[in-house]
Amino acid sequence: MDSISNMIIMMKNASLADKETVQVPYSKMKQAILECLKKEGYIEEFSKKTKKGEPILEVKLIYIDEKPKISEMERVSKQSRRVYFGIKDIFPVRNGYGLLVLSTPKGILSGKEAKKEMVGGEALFKVW
C-alpha cells in the first residue's frame, strides 16, 4: 500500500469529518510533506509522538469559518505510474487556490517554491 496516499486520504477524511487532529504513522518523507503543507498554510501544526511504542505524527488541521482548509487532495504520481514535471510543466492548481507538492532534488517543495528554485521533480499530489 502507498503510505503517502494513505496519509493524504486520512487527512482529507478527517477534515471532512470535522476532526481537529489526525494521527498518521511516522516516516521522514511524511514529515517533510507536512513541513511543506505547514509552510503553505494548509495545516496548523504537527508533532512527532509515540503510541504503543511506534512513532506517529499528530497533525492539527485548519478550519476557516467552520469549513476545512483542505477540502480535496488528489494523488498525481502513483506506484504504478510515476509523473515527473520539468520547470515548464509546473502549473498553478485551481487557478492559484490550490497547491502542487513535488519531490525534488532539493527536498519536498510546493510548485511555487520549485519554480523559484528552478527545479523539477516527481509530482506527489495536489491539494485545494
| Nearest alpha carbon to residue 125 among 16, 20, 21, 40 | 40
Average pLDDT over residues 103-125: 96
Which CATH number characterizes residue 11's domain?
A: 3.30.1490.10
Which residues have a Cβ under 8 Å from the Cβ of 72 and sit 6 or more positions away? 12, 127, 128
Domain count for the chain: 1
Q: Model's pTM, two decimal places?
A: 0.93
Q: Report how far apart, in Å, the C-alpha atoms of 46 and of each of 33, 49, 84, 94 are.
A: 11, 10, 28, 26
Full domain range(s) for residue 8: 3-127
Eight-class DSSP state of 37 = H
pLDDT tens digit sequence for 40-88 = 999 999 999 999 999 999 999 999 998 999 999 999 999 999 999 999 9
